[in-house]
């Protein structure tokens, strides 16, 4: 599929500057309604919770690891190289989204020192997977990994397919979807919300400061809260 590339670096910098819950709220500001889908619904693990969010277009794949395969080794090796080429040719910026088909009983760590270093070298922004990660002290620096679990072994891990729709943490991701992910989980930024999102982030944060600034005041009490909340609600209606 053709991936949109209309946004400049400043656009993606604006999205990386805030966390994923802020993006989820800003999407609702753009669309004018609350959302019940388009985000992960299960608990995730961040290899390093201090790392900034990953933002980019989804490059997708599926893998298995729990059991050995009877497939021809040559076919597995050929698909592996095709997968790496697919990732190497990803548009900038892109995020790896990997579905482990063994979920929820994943056992094989695909994401460790080697694969994070390789994918970072390809220019990818990070990985979102429901599978396993390892080598936590040796992962590529500044390459976020959001995973479902931690384990010591790669078991029988191999790529099963790539460039297809995948599902991670109850979120279905299509190749080319614009993803924002951090230690809280991930959201898909809908096409009709993308252009206005940076402005919506500013608007939402300005509205929230009405309540936050009041709550941080030394003389804050319930009456001050009611006043601030009324102003907050009025701002949301504009």
Residues 21 and 48 in one domain: yes
Residues 67 and 172 in one domain: yes
Average pLDDT of the chain is: 95
pLDDT attached to residue 238: 67
How many CB atoms lie under 10 A from the CB of residue 1? 8
Q: What is the pLDDT of residues 144-159, one digit of tens each?
A: 999 999 999 999 999 9
Q: What is the pLDDT of residues 178-213, one digit of tens each?
A: 999 999 999 999 999 999 999 999 999 999 999 999
Q: What is the pLDDT of residues 163-181, one digit of tens each?
A: 999 999 999 999 999 999 9
Residues 180 and 209 in one domain: no
pLDDT attached to residue 3: 47
Residues 125 and 38 in one domain: yes
Position 143 in a domain: yes
Residue 1 has pLDDT above 50, yes or no: no
Number of domains in the chain: 2
pLDDT attached to residue 4: 57
CA dist 220 and 15 (Å) reads: 32
Q: Which residues are annotated as a binding site for Mg(2+)?
A: 135
Position 58 in a domain: yes
Position 136 in a domain: yes
For residue 173, give the H/E element and its range. strand 171-173
Position 1 in a domain: no
Residues 93 and 202 in one domain: no
Q: Can you give the CATH number for the domain in which 60 is found? A: 3.50.30.40
**Helix locations, the chain, DSSP H:** 9-16, 20-31, 73-88, 113-121, 191-194, 197-215, 222-236
Q: Which residues are annotated as a binding site?
A: 134-135
ω before 104 within 30° of 0 (cis)? yes
Residues 99 and 159 in one domain: yes
pLDDT attached to residue 236: 80
CA dist 224 and 211 (Å) reads: 9
Residues 202 and 162 in one domain: no
pTM of the predicted model as reported, rounded to 2 decimal places: 0.93
Residues 133 and 232 in one domain: no
pLDDT attached to residue 68: 95
Q: Which residues are annotated as a binding site for substrate?
A: 134
Residues 77 and 143 in one domain: yes
CA distances from 80 to 59, 116, 184, 200, 221 (A): 15, 15, 30, 41, 61
Containing domain of residue 223, as a range?
198-236
Residues 220 and 166 in one domain: no
Q: Is 144 helix (H, G, I), strand (E, B) or coil?
A: coil
- Output DSSP code: residue 39: B
């Amino acid at each position: 599929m053709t991936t949109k590339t209309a946004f400049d670096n400043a656009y993606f910098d604006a999205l990386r500057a805030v966390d994923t819950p802020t993006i989820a709220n800003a999407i609702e500001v753009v669309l004018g309604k609350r959302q019940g889908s388009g985000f992960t619904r299960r608990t995730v693990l961040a290899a390093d919770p201090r790392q900034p969010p990953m933002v980019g277009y989804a490059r997708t794949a599926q893998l298995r690891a729990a059991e050995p395969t009877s497939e021809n080794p040559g076919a597995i090796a050929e698909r592996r190289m095709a997968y790496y080429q697919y990732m190497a040719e990803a548009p900038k910026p892109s995020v790896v989204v990997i579905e482990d088909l063994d979920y929820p009983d994943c056992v094989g760590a695909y994401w460790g020192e080697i694969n994070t270093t390789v994918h970072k070298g390809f220019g990818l922004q990070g990985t979102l997977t429901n599978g396993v990660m390892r080598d936590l002290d040796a992962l590529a620096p500044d390459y976020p990994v959001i995973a479902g679990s931690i384990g010591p072994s790669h078991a029988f891990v191999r790529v099963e397919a790539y460039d297809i729709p995948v599902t991670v943490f109850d979120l279905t991701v299509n190749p080319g979807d614009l993803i924002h992910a951090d230690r809280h989980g991930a959201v898909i930024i809908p096409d009709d919300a993308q252009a206005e999102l940076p402005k919506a982030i500013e608007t939402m944060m300005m509205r929230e400061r009405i309540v936050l600034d009041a709550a941080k005041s030394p003389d804050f009490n319930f009456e001050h809260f009611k006043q601030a909340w009324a102003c907050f609600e009025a701002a949301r209606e504009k």
